[in-house]
């Protein structure tokens, strides 16, 4: 029996967005980029997923969300606990500077442009 080559498995992307239609759109972008999406509606659900899985390669999160943490707080918590996870933050109301977001993270204003997000995911993770 041949050993499983994990380098050939597609990357898993955690999509954290409280608005269902926007979450569905981002999930489509993740799939179009060749990655496998996992969905969370808020930071609490995202943390539960991260605690139960070790295969999340990238998290794409909205900044403004209900719950115990907003997306920026979630991004900092994930960066501290799981430094290898790449992070993309998005907001329609806020503009965040590089000094506000975790190191090696990216920020995009909404509405998200599919080609930009797909290109950034591929830049951060490599082609699927």
Q: What is the pLDDT of residues 82-121, one digit of tens each?
A: 999 999 999 988 787 778 899 989 999 999 999 999 999 9
The answer to whether 60 and 35 have CB atoms below 8 angstroms apart is: no
- pLDDT for the residue 97: 75
Q: Name the pTM for this structure.
A: 0.90
- pLDDT for the residue 120: 95
d(CA 17, CA 3): 36
pLDDT, mean over the chain: 91
Assign a CATH topology to domain 10-125: Rossmann fold (3.40.50)
Q: Point out the least confidently predicted range of 34-38, 44-48, 65-69, 71-75.
A: 65-69
**Nearest one of 98, 94, 104, 38 to 71, comparing CA atoms:** 94
- pLDDT for the residue 10: 85
């Amino acid at each position: 029996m041949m050993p499983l080559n994990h380098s050939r498995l597609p990357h898993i992307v955690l999509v954290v967005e409280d608005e269902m239609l926007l979450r569905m759109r981002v999930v489509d972008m993740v799939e179009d980029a060749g990655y496998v999406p996992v969905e969370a509606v808020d930071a609490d659900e995202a943390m539960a997923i991260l605690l139960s899985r070790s295969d999340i390669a990238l998290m794409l999160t909205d900044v403004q969300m209900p719950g115990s943490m907003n997306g920026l707080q979630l991004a900092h918590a994930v960066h501290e606990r799981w430094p290898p996870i790449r992070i993309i933050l998005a907001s329609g109301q806020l503009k965040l500077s590089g000094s506000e977001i975790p190191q090696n993270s990216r920020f995009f204003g909404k509405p998200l442009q599919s080609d930009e997000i797909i290109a950034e995911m591929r830049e951060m993770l490599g082609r699927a």
